[in-house]
Chains A and B, each alone.
Chain A
Amino acid sequence: MRRSPSLLWLLSPRLLAARGALRRGRAKSILLGALAAVCWVGCLVGFERVLAYFQTITALGPILTERLLVLIFVSFFAVLVLSNVVTALTTFYGAPEVNVLLAAPLATRRLHQVRFIESLVASSWMALFFGLPAFVAYGVVYRAGAVFYLAVVATLVPFLVIPAALGVVAATAIVLAFRARRARDVLLVASPTLAAAAYLAIRLLRPESLASPSGLAGFAAFLADVGAPSPWLPTTWASAILIPLLGVRPGQPLFHLGLLASTAAVCYLGSAALVERVFLRAWSRAQEGETGGGQERLLSRVLPALTAPLGRPASLLLAKDLAVFLRDPGQWSQLVVLLALVVVYVYNFSVLPVDDGSPLAATMREVGALFNLGLTAFVTTSVAVRFVYPAPSLEGRSWWVLRTAPIPLTTIWWSKFTIGFLPLAVLGEGLVAVTNRFLGVPPGLTAVFMATLLLVIATIVSLGIAFGAAYPRFDAVNPAQIATSFGAVLYMILCLGLIAVVVALEAWPVSRLFWHRLAHGPLAGGEPALIAAAFGAVVVVTGAAFVAGRRAGLRHLAALEP
């Protein structure tokens, strides 16, 4: 009799692909590993510091320790639910390999098991990896034994299963309610919107007011103010398993582990039963596309007219890129995050205490103006990672259309550059102009910063195209995935290095000009020449990086083979 293939067998393509990727990109794995290790250690030290502080508060310490753990679990849970819904939508209803599984003589239950594991691993590993330092910190600070670490593992397994199961159920419901493309669009917009809303909400709560001379006391007060956790939530049970094992207070860890495990089992079985019942219907619906009403679309008429002044072929490429951008929620929804970032950035400068006329305020203004240059360049880089770096990957498998057309590669490069540079320049220059006004920076200096920033942005865009073409991700279903890939990390690091060099080169001349302006005194003998040399060095550095980026960009675009 024919035997059903084992789970391991069905997961083997994914495991083999992961092994292959690790072997091929050893240097990449080492670099990413090193970066992750730095983050991991940073988180560990941070949590250790907070927990050690809590131990010094005799009366409130245990409550705060528990509240923080609940807060960690709640944050994880929220992130995991959202990420599981998005992932399940792809692993269950979007991935092409589902066709292979569906065509195979495989029970739907087995299909659910395989896709469930893939979905759970894909959506949870990052949260788990960066969450582990928190648990390790608890263990270290409270000198917990092996039982605590075993309990962490025993807690995390069911804890991760619950959002994964909820994700599968929600994804199935969404696919049945909408078509997959529309469902994916809804989520692609909902995720960044929720993230942006959370970011804005946290910032507008003015967390800086929590800061106090006693360091972490503000944070402790904040935690103490948070209401007691509900006893009905898995996040509370997870915390209730670990707290007694740390000796913070007595409790019933086994009872709560039972609650958590049984809930996870029910959720898993519920998702399995649902998938078993409706999978084929949901899958079929997910394959349906949307057809238009036969009317020519508005963008078809508006965009060519708007871009016509640029002349061909730039206008053609821009109209095409804009149409694709505006019709792909995965791309334009990133603007929501950008908007939140800009609002918070400007808001931060609006509340800086630089108006009281004290010497401290003057120093703050000078330092702030310099940092503002670096920070605006950083914000622009973050935006470039989202919008410029993915451009070659998004051209993707349709790249042949441009490459076989009688257009020089340099023209295509300039078009891509213009499309990236213009909005970034408007954003960056606008940010510097507005925030420098809040800081009370003299207009002359603001003009210097704006000119510097223009050079930096041109270089950032040039490098973005180069790195995007050197590390293309044609397989990414969401542009956000491209922006978090290995090449994007390298690109970000390089840009940050460039920004640091530029800020360092301008620090001294800006400082001199600033004080010269304030003191109304003349510059010392050799100072004008040195200041000019420093600004000249900025032009040389950014110019060299721009040219190198352009050359590399053209070379990698020529070799781009989707």
Chain B
Amino acid sequence: MIRFVRLRKEYGTTVAVADLDCTIESGAVFGFIGPNGAGKTTTIRIMAGLLAPTAGTVLLGGHDIGREPEAAKAITGYLPDHPFLYDKLTALEFLRFAGGLYGLGGNELERRAAELLAQFGLAERATDLTETYSHGMKQRLALAAALVHRPSILVLDEPMVGLDPQGAVALRRLLVELSARGVTIFLSTHSLNVAEALCDRIGILDRGRLVALGSLAELRTRAAARLDPLEGNGSLESVFLAITGAA
């Protein structure tokens, strides 16, 4: 379970995230969408422990990221929007390193690394330095690292960016499978198709504020009055445009 408690982040006079309050149940796939600069990445970076909030907090599996960061991080897998890796490590070394940081080791880690490399189509290039990888391959490797410790919460910032169509389809399948196994998935995306296809619930963030929250059906009902009768076909895209007033 993920719980935001009046989460707020200010940069000087700019409010990046304004009193975010919501709960995401275990096993849910939550889509976090919003225009550029809405505060999605800031929220995610706070969840990952990369940024300190100005006020409020986030509870990951009941652990406060501010007060018990190690416990919260131990059950969370994180994929940043730009997954920079250690250029001078090979994919296998990177996975071993990432697994080690989460307390894995020995044969268990070796098996897990091999399994993930095969699953993400990187086994053949496992001993190449990551500096020779394409953006999509780095994205897949970072995702593998996020999953290496079998997290119960997965926080993904724009996971589809850089993936080829096969990779994107494989990732969708994987997320569905993980969700079925009880993993809570929090993903930000600009791809409304992805959010529509995958997410049980969707939160729309606009200028730091959560302006809408619910299933696609609930959001549709809420936006009905504002939907353009000519263009408003009830897709997430039209709902999003109606709610954010960008249509």
A220 to B132 alpha-carbon distance, docked (Å): 55
Asked whether A358 is an interface residue with its Cβ less than 8 Å from the other chain, the reply is no
B48 touches A (CB below 8 Å): yes
Asked if A320 and B102 make an inter-chain contact with CB atoms under 8 angstroms apart, the answer reads no
**Interface residues of chain B: helix, strand, loop or mixed (majority):** mixed
Interface residue? B90 (CB, 8 A): yes
Shortest distance in angstroms between B65's beta carbon and chain A's nearest beta carbon? 10
Chain B residues with a Cβ closer than 8 Å to the other chain, count: 40
Instruction: List CB contacts (< 8 Å) of B16-58 with chain A.
Output: 48-52
Write out the residue numbers on chain B whose beta carbons fall within 8 Å of the beta carbon of A404: 48-50, 73, 76, 78
- Complex-state Cα separation, A388 to B245, whole angstroms: 51
- A135 to B128, alpha carbons, bound, how many Å? 52
Interface size on A, residues (CB 8 A): 36
**A289-B131, A291-B128, A400-B78 known; A405+B50 contact, CB < 8 A:** no
| Contact between A561 and B101, CB atoms less than 8 A apart | no
Q: Contacts A400-B50, A562-B84 given: A405-B101 contact, CB under 8 Å? A: yes
Q: Which of B49, B90, B102 contacts A300 (CB 8 A)?
A: B90
Assess the B132–A289 pair: CB atoms within 8 A. Answer: yes
Instruction: Determine whether the beta carbon of B86 is less than 8 Å from that of A324.
Output: yes
Say yes or no: A290 contacts B132, CB within 8 Å: yes
Distance to closest chain B CB from A404 (angstroms) = 5
Interface check B200, CB cutoff 8 A:
no
- Closest B residue to A558 using CB positions: B52
Nearest B residue (CB) for A327 = B88
- Say whether, besides A327-B88, A401-B98, A406-B101, A294 and B127 are in contact (CB < 8 Å): yes
With a cutoff of 8 Å between Cβ atoms, the chain A residues found around residue B89 in the complex are 320, 323-324
Residue of B nearest to A474 (CB): B84
A276 part of interface (Cβ distance < 8 Å):
no
Knowing A294-B127, A296-B127, say if A407 contacts B90 (CB, 8 Å).
Answer: no
CA distance A404 to B65 in the complex (A): 11
Considering only residues 75-116 of chain B, those with a C-beta below 8 Å from chain A are 76, 78, 80, 82, 84-90, 92-93, 96-98, 100-103, 105
Which residue in chain A gives the minimum CB-CB distance to B89? A323
Q: Find out whether the CB atom of B127 lies under 8 angstroms from the CB atom of A397.
A: no
Question: Distance in Å from the Cβ of B202 to the closest Cβ of chain A?
Answer: 24
Question: Quick one: closest A residue to B47, CB to CB?
Answer: A404
B-contacting residues, A362-405, CB 8 Å = 396-398, 400-405
Q: Determine whether A312 belongs to the interface, using a CB cutoff of 8 Å to chain B.
A: yes
A118 at the interface (CB under 8 A from B): no
Q: A324-B89, A561-B51 are in contact. Are A396 and B84 (CB under 8 A)?
A: yes
Q: Is the CB of A397 within 8 A of B78?
A: no
Residues of B within 8 A of A213 (CB): none
In the bound complex, do residue A294 and residue B124 qualify as a contact, i.e. CB atoms below 8 Å apart?
A: yes
**Residues on the A chain within 8 Å of B71, using CB:** 406
Chain B neighbourhood of A407, CB < 8 A: 70, 101
B187 close to chain A: CB less than 8 A: no
Q: Is the CB of B101 within 8 A of A313?
A: yes
Interface contact B88-A324, CB-CB below 8 Å: yes
**Beta-carbon nearest neighbor of A300 in chain B:** B93
A403 near B97 with CB under 8 A, answer no
Which residues of B sit under 8 angstroms from A512, Cβ to Cβ? none
User: Contact mask A547-559 → B, CB, 8 Å, 1/0?
Assistant: 0000000000010
Residue of B nearest to A321 (CB): B86
**B88 touching A397, Cβ below 8 Å:** no
Q: What residues on B are CB-neighbors of A327 within 8 Å?
A: 88, 129
Q: How far is the CA of A305 from the CA of B110 in the complex (A)?
A: 15
Q: Return chain A residues, CB-CB under 8 Å to B49.
A: 403-404
Q: Chain A nearest CB: distance from B48 CB in Å?
A: 5
| Residues of chain A lying within 8 A (CB to CB) of residue B70 | 406-408
Q: Does B59 contact A (CB under 8 A)?
A: no
Partner of B127, one of A297, A316, A396, A408: A297
Could you mark each residue 263-295 of chain A with 1 if its beta carbon is under 8 Å from any beta carbon of chain B, else 0? 000000000000000000000000001111111
Minimum Cβ distance to chain B for residue A161 (Å):
34
Q: Is A203 an interface residue (CB 8 A)?
A: no
Partner of B86, one of A291, A304, A398, A405: A398
Q: Which residues of B sit under 8 angstroms from A405, Cβ to Cβ? A: 73, 98, 101-102
Q: Quick check: A398 and B84 within 8 Å, CB to CB?
A: yes
Cα–Cα distance between A293 and B96 once the two chains are bound (Å)? 20
Q: How far is the CA of A247 from the CA of B159 in the complex (A)?
A: 72
Any A CB within 8 A of the CB of B125: yes
Chain A CB within 8 A of B74 CB: yes
Q: Chain A contacts of B93 at CB under 8 A?
A: 297, 300, 320, 323
Given that A316-B97, A401-B145 are contacting pairs, would A292 and B127 also be in contact in the complex, using a CB cutoff of 8 Å?
yes
Query: Is the Cβ of A401 less than 8 Å from the Cβ of B101?
Result: yes
Contacts of A319 in B (CB 8 A): 97
Closest 5 CB pairs of A and B: A289-B132, A397-B84, A405-B101, A406-B74, A327-B88
Instruction: List residues of B whose CB falls within 8 A of some A CB.
Output: 48-52, 69-74, 76, 78, 80, 82, 84-90, 92-93, 96-98, 100-103, 105, 124-125, 127-129, 131-132, 145
| Residues on A facing B (Cβ under 8 Å) | 181, 289-297, 300, 304, 312-313, 316, 319-320, 323-324, 327-328, 396-398, 400-408, 558, 561-562
- Beyond A290-B132, A300-B90, A327-B88, 4 additional contacts (C-beta under 8 Å) are A289-B129, A398-B85, A401-B98, A406-B69
Q: 29 A-B Cβ contacts within 8 A?
A: A181-B131, A289-B132, A292-B127, A292-B128, A294-B127, A297-B127, A312-B105, A313-B100, A320-B93, A327-B88, A328-B88, A398-B85, A398-B86, A400-B50, A400-B84, A401-B85, A401-B86, A401-B98, A404-B49, A404-B73, A404-B78, A406-B71, A406-B72, A406-B101, A406-B102, A407-B70, A408-B69, A561-B51, A562-B84
